Amino acid sequence: MHNGIIENFHSLRQSLLADGVEFTSETDTEVVAHLVASAYADSGDLTRAMQDVVGTLEGAFTLLAVHADAPNTVVAARRNSPLVVGLGDGENFMGSDVAAFIGHTRKALELGQDQIVTITPDSCDVINFDGTPSEGKAYDVTWDAAAAEKDGYDTFMEKEIHDQPHAVRDTLLGRTDENGQLVLDEMSITEQDLRGISKIVIVACGTAAYAGMVAKYAIERWTRIPVEVELAHEFRYRDPVIDENTLVVSISQSGETADTLMAVRHAKELGARTLSICNTHGSTIPRESDAVLYTHAGPEIAVASTKAFVAQITASYILGLYLAQLRGGSFGRNAAEVLEELHGIPAKMSDLLGNLARVKEIAYFMADTRSVLFLGRHVGFPIAMEGALKLKELAYIHAEGFAAGELKHGPIALIEPGQPVFIVVPSPSAENGLHGKVVSNIQEIRARGAAHW
C-alpha cells in the first residue's frame, strides 16, 4: 500500500526494467513493491528491506508492506505523509489518522518523520530510516468512538453535514474567561510577539484555503493587519516576502497535508512565526508549528470537507478577535458582540439543516446538469468557490465559482438559457451595501435566461 508520490520513480523504474523486471502498471506504487521484493530477496527481513528501499526514494510517502508468507507482520514507513499506529490488546492497527481505528482502541502511537514501524498483533517496533531505534510517542485519543460511526445516517458525509452546529459550538467552547475576554491557552506565541505582527499569511489547500479567504475579510477588518491567503503549494515554490513579524497561519483538517506542511517549514526557515489551525490532535503540522488553535469538529471521515470548513472559519474568527483584543484598537472593544453573534450561529445552522426538502427537490431537477456556476461577493466569493469545489468533487459536475462583480468582465458569456447559477446573497442589513449589487447581478443573469428556482 502506498500513499503519496515517489518523485524519482521514473529513473527507479528504468533501472528495474533494465534488470528484467516486468511491470503490470505505470504506477510509482508498483515500482516500490518491486524494490521491496528485491531488497527482501537479499536480506530475508521485511523491515530491513523497507529500510534499504526508503533510502532510495524521493518525495512524500507512506508505505505499507506485508509478506504473503507472514501476514501477521506489517511494516510501514513514512516521510512527510500521515501514518499513525493504534495500539490494541492482542491487535495493532495502522491508519492515516486515528479515525481509522478508534472503534477498536483509544491508544495511539505518534510517529516522527522518516521512521519505520513494524507491527504484529502483540508488538510494535519503531526505527528511524538510518536503523537507529526509536520509541514513538504513545497518547490517548480523546475523540469519542461514537464520532467515528454513522449514527443512523447513510454516509459519513451526511452525518458530518449534520454535525456542523456541534463543530461550531465546540470550537467556540471555553475560549473566554469570566470577564468575557478571549483566552487562547494553546497560544504559545507571546502576547508581545503577537502585538508586533505586521502581516498575516494564511497557507492552506482546497476547502481549507477557502476558509482562509473567508477569514481574511474578518481578520483585516478587526485587526487592520494585512492578510494574504495563499495556496500552500504555490507559497512554498516562490520567494514570499516574510520576516519575523509575519504570522504564517496554516489551516488544515488533517494536519498532515504535505503541501501545507512544506509551506509551514518554508515559513519557519524564513523566520516567520507559525500558527496552525487544525482539527487533528498530535498531527504533524501543529507539532511543527509555534502555536496551535484546535478546531473541535471531531473526526471528519468523509473525504469531502464539511464540518471542518465551518470549524476552520470559526477558529480563524476567534484568532482575529483575539488579535484585535490584544492590539486594543477600536474593534477590540466590540469583540464581545461578535462573539455573541458567533454563539448564535449553531442554532441558525440547525434550523437550516432541519429543513432540507427544498435542497433535495433542486438536486432532483439538477441531476443531469452538465455545468453549474456559483457567484458571490465579499465572503460570499470564497463560499461560491467552495460550493463549486463540492459539486465537482461529489457530483462530478463541472462547476465554477466567480466573484459576482467579475461577471461583466467575461464570465457573463457563459450564461445561456437554462444555465443553473447559484448566488450567495449577502444580508439586506449588511453595512457594506452589497445586497443591492448582488440583486442587480441576479437581474442581469435572469435577463439572459439562466435557470432559477
Strand, coil or helix: 385: helix
Q: Is 441 in the site for ligand M6R (CB under 6 A)?
A: no
Residues 251-270 vs ligand M6R: string with x where CB under 6 A?
A: -xxx--x--x----------
Residue 62: CB minimum distance to ligand M6R, A:
14
Stretch that binds ligand M6R, among 150-158, 200-208, 357-365, 376-384 (CB under 6 A): 200-208
DSSP state of 376: E
Q: Which of 94, 304, 335, 384 is close enough to bind ligand M6R by CB under 6 A?
A: 304
Alpha-carbon distance of 322 to 219, in angstroms, equals 10
The C-alpha cell of 100 is what?
A: 481509522
Q: Is 115 in the site for ligand M6R (CB under 6 A)?
A: no
| Nearest CA-CA partner of 96 in 251, 233, 208, 254 | 254
Alpha-carbon distance of 56 to 72, in angstroms, equals 26
Which regions of 253-294 does DSSP assign to beta strands (E)? 273-278, 291-294
Alpha-carbon distance of 132 to 115, in angstroms, equals 10
Alpha-carbon distance of 21 to 381, in angstroms, equals 52
DSSP assignment of 423-452:
E-PPPTT-TT-HHHHHHHHHHHHHHTT-B-
Alpha-carbon distance of 189 to 370, in angstroms, equals 49
State which residue, 157 or 184, has the beta carbon closest to ligand M6R.
157
Q: Is 283 in the site for ligand M6R (CB under 6 A)?
A: no
Residue 312: CB minimum distance to ligand M6R, A:
8
State which residue, 118 or 257, has the beta carbon closest to ligand M6R.
257
Residue type, 139: Y
Residues 223-252 vs ligand M6R: string with x where CB under 6 A?
A: -----------------------------x
Residue 275: CB minimum distance to ligand M6R, A:
15
Q: Is 305 in the site for ligand M6R (CB under 6 A)?
A: yes
Stretch that binds ligand M6R, among 83-91, 139-147, 202-210, 287-295 (CB under 6 A): 202-210
Chain centre to alpha carbon of residue 381: 19
| Nearest CA-CA partner of 209 in 242, 231, 237 | 231
Stretch that binds ligand M6R, among 61-69, 154-162, 301-309, 423-431 (CB under 6 A): 301-309
Q: Is 303 in the site for ligand M6R (CB under 6 A)?
A: yes
Which 380-399 positions form the footprint of ligand M6R (CB under 6 A)? 393
Q: Is 314 in the site for ligand M6R (CB under 6 A)?
A: no
Q: Is 81 in the site for ligand M6R (CB under 6 A)?
A: no
Q: How many residues bind ligand M6R (CB under 6 A)?
A: 13
Alpha-carbon distance of 377 to 372, in angstroms, equals 17
Residue 97: CB minimum distance to ligand M6R, A:
9
Q: Is 207 in the site for ligand M6R (CB under 6 A)?
A: yes
Cβ burial of 57 (10 Å; 0-12, 13-18, 19+) is buried
Residue 242: CB minimum distance to ligand M6R, A:
20
Q: Residues in the site for ligand M6R, rule: CB under 6 A?
A: 205-208, 252-254, 257, 260, 303-305, 393
